[in-house]
Structure 1
């Protein structure tokens, strides 16, 4: 079983400050995400979604066969907590720029209007088109709308992942997708022992994979496995698979002397995603990714 570190606001703020001092080019994005991350960890303290219930025989089968435990739609959301967090995120968005401000205003109106926002939270997980319809009716960008809604429900999703992680065993490791919810990884991590871990793009659960193989197609041919990095940022590398043409962005924690907060590292290394795409590779989440 693997468990994720639980962060507090002080730790996140320290991580953001450390990155800001060495990555001044990311001042604007940190001006948005810094307060967002702090708001999320503060909200997580009081977030208590309904426990995810699984039939014992189904759970045993999934554990034995190495299947992911649930579909993303099975996550539960603490709607009151997510709603309060969304209000805070809307205020942050209002100060972040015209596009996000418009999305925040539209969501604020829906919060005042009542239960609609709960249906939008549900759509983050079951993808039934509510977010798209709301975006069209309010003339806001659906990707930005999805982003703010996901950021609001993320503490609930992470709480559910921590609950389910207590059931996991070694057979769930070395998968190409999250053993909790089956979602694609968004980031890799090399730990102090040189082991490679993947972080889920949805619930941020981390799991162990083989370092010497492509985690997506299991390719072990060294001639078609390579990576690139920058001398200016030796802690980052991008693993490339010539067989499936997918890439994985990895943070080598042995090369950093700062706090390692995975969601932060994801957003301040977007330039590496762009470089990988320019080389003809695709993120595991699909074209146009990553996000969140």
Structure 2
């Protein structure tokens, strides 16, 4: 895992290379610092894993954390969420005021949004609709980012504790074996003969996944799977599935390259998301 110092250095490099992303990268830098402070002050995660059921869950395609089926004390994550809002107030005051107005409205239910985000049956647009109906996309994106991040330190500790066990289970699903979330970005490691790994933004876990397969619908028909790159940015590619019309960004790592912080890489490649959307993928 990339260290905080290296991640912050990468952010500064990306800001110089692409000033358009400065605000969002500054927000990500603040999030990484706040996340580490949270982790340093944690004793135990609010989430618990029944170690006797790990093998059974992995074989059955069930993530370790059953967020939909259990009740958890979300007091600490909610406090963290409020701390994250202060980042926006510092970096983007105008947007922050709009966000504060949204979360203070009667329609905003943070816990309901959290739970909806773990239900793969609910479309992303429906989950976002729980936050607001007529607010700007920028506000919704920040709320989505902060809501997801609010559980990250707690789930990250579970991923770090049980990651090695999960890696040995030969998990083959396209969603995260720790928390069940779908990936947004992944990496291909040339040093491991081109093995592909998917990354979970919710808990920070990476897991091996088939190179020629859609993580969202399971399609492995090569003729309906493709990818595109942007000239001059061959380090990145966008893998697309023409069966379900979903996409995932991928970072290609040459031999002897340092492990990237995929949270940062995701922000630095938002233009690839826009291209994918324009091409009809989601």
2:35 counterpart of 1:21: no
C-alpha distance in 2 between matches for 1:177 and 1:133 = 23
In 2, are the aligned partners of 1:225 and 1:242 still within 8 Å (CA)?
A: yes
Q: Could you tell me which residue of structure 1 aligns to residue 136 of structure 2?
A: none
Alignment CA distance shift 1:50-1:280 (3 Å): closer
Alignment CA distance shift 1:188-1:143 (3 Å): closer
Q: Which runs of 5+ in 1 are unaligned?
A: 111-116, 283-292
In 1, are the aligned partners of 2:2 and 2:261 still within 8 Å (CA)?
A: no
- CA RMSD of the aligned region, Å? 3.6
**What secondary structure does 1:168 align onto?**
helix
Q: Could you tell me which residue of structure 2 aligns to residue 68 of structure 1?
A: 63
- Normalised by the length of structure 1, the TM-score is 0.74
Alignment CA distance shift 1:276-1:164 (3 Å): same
Q: Could you tell me which residue of structure 1 aligns to residue 179 of structure 2?
A: 181
- Which residue of 91, 96, 100 corresponds with 1:100? 96
Structure 1 range deviating more: 152-161 or 228-237? 152-161
**Equivalent residues in 2 for 1:271-282, closer than 5 Å:** 271-282=271-282
**What secondary structure does 1:70 align onto?**
coil
In 1, are the aligned partners of 2:158 and 2:178 still within 8 Å (CA)?
A: no
C-alpha distance in 1 between matches for 2:77 and 2:169 = 34
Q: Could you tell me which residue of structure 2 aligns to residue 236 of structure 1?
A: 236
**Post-superposition CA distance 1:233-254 (Å, at most 9, x none):** 1111001222222211101122
C-alpha distance in 1 between matches for 2:72 and 2:164 = 17
**Post-superposition CA distance 1:6-30 (Å, at most 9, x none):** 733x232112112222222212222
**Equivalent residues in 2 for 1:117-266, closer than 5 Å:** 120=110, 122-123=111-112, 125-127=114-116, 144-191=142-189, 192-193=191-192, 194-254=194-254, 260-266=260-266
**What secondary structure does 1:252 align onto?**
strand
- Normalised by the length of structure 2, the TM-score is 0.77
Q: Could you tell me which residue of structure 2 aligns to residue 52 of structure 1?
A: 48
**Post-superposition CA distance 1:247-283 (Å, at most 9, x none):** 111011228967611101111211111111211222x
Alignment CA distance shift 1:266-1:133 (3 Å): closer
In 2, are the aligned partners of 1:180 and 1:205 still within 8 Å (CA)?
A: yes
C-alpha distance in 1 between matches for 2:268 and 2:244 = 26
Deviation at 1:215, TM superposition (A): 2.9
Q: Could you tell me which residue of structure 2 aligns to residue 290 of structure 1?
A: none
**Post-superposition CA distance 1:158-206 (Å, at most 9, x none):** 1123234354254443311111222111111112322100012422211
> What is the number of equivalent residue pairs in this alignment?
265
In 2, are the aligned partners of 1:94 and 1:101 still within 8 Å (CA)?
A: yes
